[in-house]
């Protein structure tokens, strides 16, 4: 096992770092640094800058616009994005729906959707969670009934991130209630402009409108928008979630937050308890990076996608992200009303959800116990 970067990989990292420094717009960099709200226009602006460079979808096959980078180069790129303070690349199209289409989609589906995802012409969201069906996703009830050449969808999705921005939503729906729970689920793509779709905001405790409820009332969806076989959506969902969890460690972002915390800690650095916790988080972040490199080395050698043990990255990565914002809040002046202090408070509140999305950390521990440890 080799956990060190080669000379070529270090040269690649320097190339990426230099390009980001020159091409990340100052106003976007400033917004991220001050924890300000990023609009749809902000997100798409950065997406299109990377698309023009040819770097927006490194993991895609070259024929669809991918870079041809190996897994280590892709990891370096993702971490440099976080370390530079770039706006996030919204994953629902690029890193979730697109890999599903590449693995399970028809040629017609790939030609229809992938170029528009790449160029940022379609904004996607994810329709998985429902009231009562979040961690136990297989209990979902949103129903799709086949009627000729289309499905009629009725039901509800909840905690749907950025659905108010979205042009399309990929959904898990129940197409058969008679089989085992996992066997009656299908994966379909729905145009958000279709009659019968209602999006209602859910305002989070940081005051932001990020997530939503989405209601489907007799929504007609062409059968050609189903991905993979009817009733085999659970296979698609598991494949998608493996890709999602691999990207939740956010080591580069956490390194940037750690450096920022050290810079603004001020008198708190003299507090023994604060210093002890800060040191522990730094050690845990280093351990997480080494663990991530182990996964990359295995993927590089075997060519296989991540297994169930990738849940470790999700658990520890999100716990570290929360820990850093807790210390940032502790170091900030709670009475201050400047943009940075207010931003720190909002960031703290926003990060409470990280241990829940992509499958709660409690569920991730169950996955590791069952699939990896055999318990």
Which active-site residues does the annotation give?
Answer: 244
Burial of 23 (0-12, 13-18, 19+ CB in 10 A): middle
Q: How far is CA 188 from CA 100, 137, 148, 240, in A?
A: 11, 16, 16, 13
CA dist., res. 307 & res. 305, Å (int): 7
CA dist., res. 191 & res. 193, Å (int): 5
- Annotate 110-139 with DSSP letters as a single string: HHHHHHHHHHT-S-EEEE--BTTBSSSGGG
Burial of 240 (0-12, 13-18, 19+ CB in 10 A): buried
Phi, psi of 89 (to 5 degrees): -85, 115
The number of beta carbons lying within 10 Å of the beta carbon of residue 267 is: 8
Instruction: Confirm if 42 and 87 have CB atoms less than 8 A apart.
Output: yes
- The CA-CA-CA angle for residues 142, 145, 222, to 5°, reads 100
SS3 39: coil
Task: Write out the two tokens for 16.
Answer: 């990426």
Instruction: Confirm if 30 and 24 have CB atoms less than 8 A apart.
Output: no
CA dist., res. 88 & res. 103, Å (int): 24
Among 138, 233, 135, CA closest to 180? 138
Kindly tell me the sign of the dihedral angle through the C-alpha atoms of 131, 132, 138, 143.
negative
What is the CA 63 to chain-centroid distance, rounded?
Answer: 24
| Residue 54 φ/ψ region, left for φ over 0, alpha for ψ in the -120 to 50 degree band, beta for the rest | left
Parallel, antiparallel or unpaired: strands 226-227 and 124-127: unpaired
């Amino acid at each position: 096992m080799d956990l060190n970067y080669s000379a070529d990989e270090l040269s690649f990292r320097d190339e990426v770092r230099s390009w980001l420094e020159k091409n990340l717009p100052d106003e976007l960099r400033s917004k991220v640094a001050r924890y300000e709200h990023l609009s749809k226009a902000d997100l798409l602006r950065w997406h299109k800058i990377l698309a023009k460079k040819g770097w927006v979808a490194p993991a895609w096959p070259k024929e669809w616009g991918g870079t041809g980078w190996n897994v280590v180069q892709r990891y370096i790129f993702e971490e440099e994005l976080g370390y530079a303070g770039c706006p996030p690349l919204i994953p629902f199209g690029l890193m979730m729906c697109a890999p599903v289409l590449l693995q399970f989609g028809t040629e017609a589906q790939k030609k229809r959707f992938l170029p528009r995802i790449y160029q940022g012409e379609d904004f996607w969201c994810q329709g998985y969670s429902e009231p009562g069906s979040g961690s136990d996703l297989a209990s979902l009830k949103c129903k799709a009934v086949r009627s000729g050449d289309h499905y009629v969808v009725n039901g509800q999705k909840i905690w749907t991130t950025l659905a108010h921005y979205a042009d399309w939503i990929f959904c898990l729906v129940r197409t058969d209630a008679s089989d085992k729970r996992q066997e009656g689920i299908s994966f379909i793509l729905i145009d958000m402009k279709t009659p019968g779709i209602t999006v209602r905001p859910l305002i989070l405790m940081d005051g932001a409108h990020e997530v939503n409820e989405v209601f489907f009332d007799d929504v007609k969806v062409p059968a050609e928008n189903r991905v993979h076989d009817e009733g085999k959506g659970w296979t698609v969902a598991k494949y998608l979630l493996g890709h999602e969890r691999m990207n939740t460690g956010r080591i580069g972002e956490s390194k940037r937050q750690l450096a920022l915390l050290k810079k603004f800690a001020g008198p708190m650095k003299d507090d023994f308890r604060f210093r002890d916790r800060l040191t522990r988080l730094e050690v845990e972040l280093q351990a997480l990076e080494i663990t991530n490199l182990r996964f990359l080395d295995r993927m590089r050698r075997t060519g296989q996608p991540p297994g169930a043990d990738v849940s470790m990255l999700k658990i520890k990565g999100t716990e570290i992200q929360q820990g850093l914002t807790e210390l940032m809040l502790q170091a900030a002046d709670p009475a201050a009303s400047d943009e940075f202090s207010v931003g720190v408070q909002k960031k703290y509140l926003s990060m409470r959800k990280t241990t829940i999305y992509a499958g709660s950390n409690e569920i991730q521990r169950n996955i590791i116990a069952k699939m990896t440890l055999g318990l």
